[in-house]
Structures are given as structure tokens and as C-alpha cells.
Amino acid sequence: MKYLASTLFLSLFLLGQVFGQAAKHVYVISIDGFRPEFYQDKSWPAPNLQQMALGGVQADGVRGVFPSVTYPSHTTILTGVMPAQHGIYYNAPFEPDGATGRWYWEESLIKTQTMWDAVRKAGLKSASVFWPVSAGAPVDYNIPEVWSLDEKVDRVTPIRQGASPKGLFEEIEQNATGKLREKDLNSDYMIADENGSRMAAYLIQAYKPNLLTFHIYTVDHAAHGEGRDGGHVRKAVAAADRAVGNILEAIEKAGIKESTAVIITGDHGFVDINQSLSPNVALAKNGLIGKGKGEWKAKFHTSGAAAFLHLKRKGDHRTVSHVKKILSDLPEAQKKLFRVVERTELDKIGADPDAVLALAPVPGVTLNAATEGEILKAAKGGTHGFFPDFKEIQTGFIGCGAGFNTKTTLPLMGLEDIAPLVYRLLGITSESAVTSEPAVLRSALK
């Protein structure tokens, strides 16, 4: 394994020498719930995205991770490796005694090198706005995505307190956004993306970081409510496009347009849903989950649409067999709504190493963590988290500016291919990220 890692690192280093430094600045913008049709279908209100795609590099699709949810996906973008390696398996960790509301907020939970680490090691500067898993990150100018478990604490205060260096949030309020309150950063309102982009734009103009990571999130919120399309979704896409436009204007105002590469990507696509299945109800009815705290032998941890089986006692093969029989004995009308993903397949896609198996629902169905009630209910709206093996769950990619080719379309790439692109553009190397598709580099970059 050590030989393989060193060989891959050497390959990465040599490719870096071939490409050299193509860009002085690389700005990575993720749109939560970003889909290729936003820039390939002119019926969507996204003129900035569509113009960038036409003139630069675009992908017909980007395969994600499993589960295809926000935090593991963004960490794969940031590291170039899959969740099993970087350690951010879900949005919220599996908590044996019950969910507390905690998410994977802290950068210290990431087990591998990030773009932020590599940039700092190279003596360059970085900035970040609302990137998942960024609290306490080694970022020079950081506005993290974080909130409090205390419902009495508003959403802005933890961000203000977590900003780095101290006083950065207040500096941005004074110079770019004005005083920010709860609803100014709330995903229910389009102003959240506008304010996020004003923050990022200010950091670009004031500090000209070499790397910027910026997360735009209201599209995801709208699509959860309405599904893949709808009036609110289209307004959110327009707001995201405007946020991107603000970044492009900031780059031009800062006088760094010719030396800047811009990447627009996302974490997952979206799927319309009509049914919700509760696998833990079946486990509870068969005695594997009790009503008291700690009374369980096996439990499904749901993340987006998917569910991952965890055992109270590691290596409890008897309980695993029991779970499989319970699933096999479900009525055919329920069994056809999902497939069992065995450990070998989870290893191949780089999913949580502690899960003994997973359930991947078919499009149109989501799984939930309930332990009581009906096992199958009607549902509406949209979601993600599905196994990334079909078109609707794919996200998108646009690359333009310094170092990128023009008018180029890639058929398909992976989220893990983005970090190596960033490293090539900046002319720096990574200890961990190695692209699974070398052709992506050759096609995308000059």
C-alpha cells in the first residue's frame, strides 16, 4: 500500500511539473443540488452559468459519492478521495444512542489532506465561505458553515464566532453586507445566496486569495420542497446564478481576471419522490430495536434517501443474517423499492467502512429512520442520497478562465477529479488526491 501511495504521489508530482502553474487564483464555487441542465438547457434562468459553459469546459455529468449528500460530497471535492478515506461519511454521524442534531462541522474530522492544507503548505493564501466541514479549518479568511445544537441560539452567532481571523465577520458586515441577522442567511430566502456571494466577493477584492471555496445552498432547499422543478426552484437557480455573477464581477474588479480559474460544481443532483420506506420499523417489529436508550442490536442510519446498517456489537454475524432475512421476508411490493448494497460494493465506492451493508432505494423512493408507524408512506418533494449510478443524481461541472480549455465538453467525470484539477492549475502537489480519470486533466486543461 505504501508503494502504491508513493507511486501515485510521484505521478501527481510529475503531472504537476508538466502542467506548471496555469493560474494564480482558483475559485471553486459549489451550488448545492447543481445539475447539468442548469447550464445545458436555456429554459433555466442561469445566463452566467450558460455563458461560462459555452466558452469553457463543461461536463455532461459528474458522478458523486454514496450517500450522495452534501457533507461527504463537498469533502470529496476538497480532498480528491472518497468518504472511506477522508472520514466524512454522512452529513450527520451515526450516533448509537440517538441523533442529537450534530453534523460533521469540524475540519479536524477530515482524515486526509485538503486543498486548504496543500495551499498553506505551498505558502499560498486561501479563503472560504460556508463550505461544509470548515469550522476551524486552516484557512486564512474563513466564514464556516456551522450552527448550534441549542435552538435558542440564532443561526448567525455560531458563524460569527467561528469566523477566522477574529473580527473577519464584522469586517465583512461593515464593508460588504451590512448587519446580518437570522433570516439574512436562512436557506428559506434567496438573500442568503446573495449575502454569501457578497462575503466571497469582498474577500476576493480585499485579499485576492489563491484559493477560494464558496458554497451556495438555496437551490437544495427549494428542490427538497418542490422536487426537480417548480417556481421556487427556478427562482433559487436564478439567485445562485446571480451569486456566481457577483463573484465574476469581483474577480474583474480585483484586476485578476487573466490569472484566475473559476470552477462551478455541486454535490448531487435531485430526484422526485413519492414514497417513503422505514426499514427500522421492520427491525423493531422483529426485536432488533427496543424502545429504551441503548436497546438495539442493529439499526439503519439514514442519510438522504439511503440507509446504512450499523451493529451494536461489531462482528455480530448472527444479527446481520437476521436483518437480511427480515428484508427478504418483506412483501414483494416493498422489496422492489430498494436493493441491498453489500460490503464489497460499499468498499468499491468508498462508503462508510463501519456500515455492514446499505439499502439503496429506487428513484422515487426515500428511506427514513423512523422505528414506529407504517413501514411505507406517501411522500412528496425531492431528495438525494441515492447510489450514484443514474443520470438524475449526477451533479455538474464548469471550468473556465486561466488554464482551462475553451468550448470543451467532458462526457462524465467524478467528484474526486476536481481536487487534482485545482492542484494542476495552481502548480502544487497533493499527498492524497490522484485523479481516477487522467483523461479529465488532458481534456480540461491547456
Give per-residue pLDDT as tens, 290-343: 988 889 999 999 999 999 999 999 999 999 999 999 999 999 999 999 999 999
* Phi, psi dihedrals of residue 217, rounded to the nearest 5°: -130, 0
Residues 431 and 282 grouped into a single domain: no
pLDDT at 6 over 60: no
pLDDT of 434:
60
400 and 348 share a domain?
Answer: no
Q: Determine how many CB atoms are found less than 10 A away from the CB of residue 235.
A: 15
Q: Cα–Cα distance between 222 and 430 in angstroms, integer? A: 36
DSSP H helices, 34-112, are 37-40, 47-55, 70-79, 83-86
Across 187-194, average pLDDT: 95
Tell which of 335, 355, 379 closes a domain.
Answer: 379
Three state DSSP letters for 377-394: EECCCEECCCCCCCHHHC
On whether residue 289 sits in a domain, the answer given is yes
My answer on whether 88 and 160 are in the same domain is: yes
Does pLDDT of 254 surpass 60?
yes
Write out the three cell numbers for 297. 442490536
pLDDT score for 10: 35
Model confidence at 271: pLDDT above 80: yes
**Is residue 227 a contact partner of residue 269, using CB atoms and an 8 Å limit?**
no
Task: Report d(CA 342, CA 321) in Å as an integer.
Answer: 12
Whole-angstrom distance, CA of residue 301 vs CA of residue 90: 9
The three-class DSSP label of residue 42 is: coil
Structural domain harbouring 327: 275-379
Among residues 317, 293, 316, 319, which one has the least CA distance to residue 371?
293
- Max Cα separation, the chain? 65
Contact 343, 357 (CB under 8 A): yes
* Nine cell digits for residue 247: 463573484
* pLDDT at position 400 over 50: yes
pTM: predicted TM-score of the whole model, two decimal places = 0.94
Q: Are residues 286 and 239 in the same domain?
A: no
pLDDT at res. 430:
80
pLDDT in tens, 7-42: 333 344 334 434 468 999 999 999 999 999 999 999
Across residues 104-110, what is the average pLDDT?
Answer: 98
Residues 6 and 79 reside in one and the same domain: yes
Average pLDDT over every residue of 127-134: 98
- Assess if residue 93 is contained within a domain: yes
Give residue 438's pLDDT band: very low, low, confident or very high (50, 70, 90). low
Domain-embedded: residue 117: yes
Residues 252 and 399 both lie in one domain: yes
Q: Do 59 and 383 form a contact (C-beta atoms < 8 A)?
A: no
pLDDT given at position 293: 84
pLDDT at 262: 98
Cα-flanking dihedrals φ and ψ of residue 260, to 5°?
Answer: -120, 135
In Å, how far are 146, 200, 278, 288, 329 from 337, measured between CA atoms?
35, 42, 11, 22, 14
The residues, any chain, with a CB within 8 Å of residue 6's CB and separated by 6 or more, are none
Over residues 48-102, the pLDDT tens digits come to 999 999 999 999 999 999 999 999 999 999 999 999 999 999 999 999 988 999 9
The residue with cell 422483529 is 286
- On whether both 29 and 115 belong to a single domain, the answer is yes
pLDDT per position as a tens digit, 419-430: 999 999 999 988
Last residue of a domain, one of 379, 408, 424: 379
Strands 376-378, 275-277: pairing is: antiparallel
User: Are residue 280 and residue 212 in the same domain, yes or no?
Assistant: no
Going by C-alpha positions, the residue among 92, 110, 109 that lies closest to residue 101 is 92
In a domain, residue 212? The reply is yes
In a domain, 137, yes or no: yes
Instruction: Give me the number of domains the chain comprises.
Output: 2
CA dihedral 365, 367, 373, 378 (to 10 degrees): -20
291 and 264 in a single domain? The answer is: no
Chosen domain end from 379, 406, 424: 379
The per-residue pLDDT for 116 is: 98
Query: How large a percentage of the chain has pLDDT more than 70?
Result: 94
The vertex-424 CA angle with 264 and 436, nearest 5°, equals: 80
Using 50, 70 and 90 to split pLDDT, how confident is the model at 3? very low
C-alpha cell at 41: 438547457
Please indicate, yes or no, whether residues 410 and 434 belong to a single structural domain of this protein. Answer: yes
Same domain flag for 106 and 210: yes
At 363-376, the pLDDT tens digits run 999 999 999 999 99
CATH at residue 188? 3.40.720.10
216 located within any domain: yes
CB 15 within 8 A of CB 434: no
pLDDT at position 17:
39
CATH number for the domain harbouring residue 374: 3.30.1360
Q: 368 and 280: one domain?
A: yes
Query: Is 384 part of any domain?
Result: no
Domain annotation covers residue 144: yes
**In whole angstroms, what is the distance from residue 386 CA to residue 360 CA?**
6
